[in-house]
Amino acid sequence: MTTDTRESGFIDLVLVNHLENYNLVVECKRVKDTSWIFLVEGTGKIYRRDAKCFVLDTETVVNRFEWFDLPLDPKTFQSQYCVIPGTDNRSISLIERAAAELVSSTEGLATEDRALSKSVCFGGSGTSRIYFNVIVTTASLQVCHLDPGKISLENGTVDEAILKEVPFLRFRKQLNPSYELSKIIDTSNDKDVIRAKENTIFVVNSKHITKFLNEFRVDSLNLAKRFVR
C-alpha cells in the first residue's frame, strides 16, 4: 500500500493499495500505559467478516455513493462497547469521539474523490473506490468476554469475565453517518434505523499494523453479488 498525504478533516493517513481502489482512512491515537477493553457477549470465538465501508462507484451502470456492508478479512471479534480504565464513564469515550470524527472525514474524502473523478485526474471516465475506517493505537487491545445476565443490577459490575489480548478487532457503533440519514426518513422499521446509523471502525494495535495489512482482503466474489441491485 501507498500513503496519500491529502488532508481531509481529522484524517492522519490514507493507505491505498496498488490498484488504488481500496483506501484505508487512518486515525492514529498515541496513548501511554493503558488498555482499551472491548466488551463481547459470550465466551466463544465469535468472529465477524462484514464491515461497513463507503463505496464510490461511478464507472459502472450501477452507480453507488453510500455506506455498504461488505465481507472482508481478517475475521475479528466485533464489539459495540469500549471501556478505557481511568476515564469518566459519563462522557463520550476517546474512541467514540475519534470514531465519529473518522466517519465524517471518510465521507469528506469520498466526496472529494467523487468530484475529482469527473476531471482529467481520472481520465474523465469515473472511478471505483471503497473506503475503510481504521484507528491505529498504541493502547493494548483487550476483548472482555462476559455474560450480560451476570452483571449486577445493584452496582453495575460483573465478577466473572474473561480477558484476552487481540491485535485488532471491529468496533461497530451508531455514529450517525450523514449519507445514511436519507435512508432513515422513509422507514418505520426500527432495525433498519439502527443499522443505518451504525458504522464499522477497525481498531488496530500499532505493533500489529503490518499483520493487519497483510491479512486485509475484500471478498471480491461476494462483493460483485452484493453490488447487484
pLDDT score recorded for residue 49: 92
Q: In this structure, are residues 167 and 205 in contact, taking their beta carbons and an 8 Å threshold?
A: yes
Over residues 76-84, the mean pLDDT reads 92
For 16-63, the pLDDT digits (tens) are 998 888 999 999 999 888 899 999 987 767 899 999 999 998 766 557
3-class SS of residue 5: coil
- What's the predicted TM-score (pTM) here? 0.84
Q: Is residue 151 a contact partner of residue 158, using CB atoms and an 8 Å limit?
A: yes
The domains of the chain are located at 2-219
Nearest C-alpha neighbor of 83 from the set 73, 75, 95, 71:
95
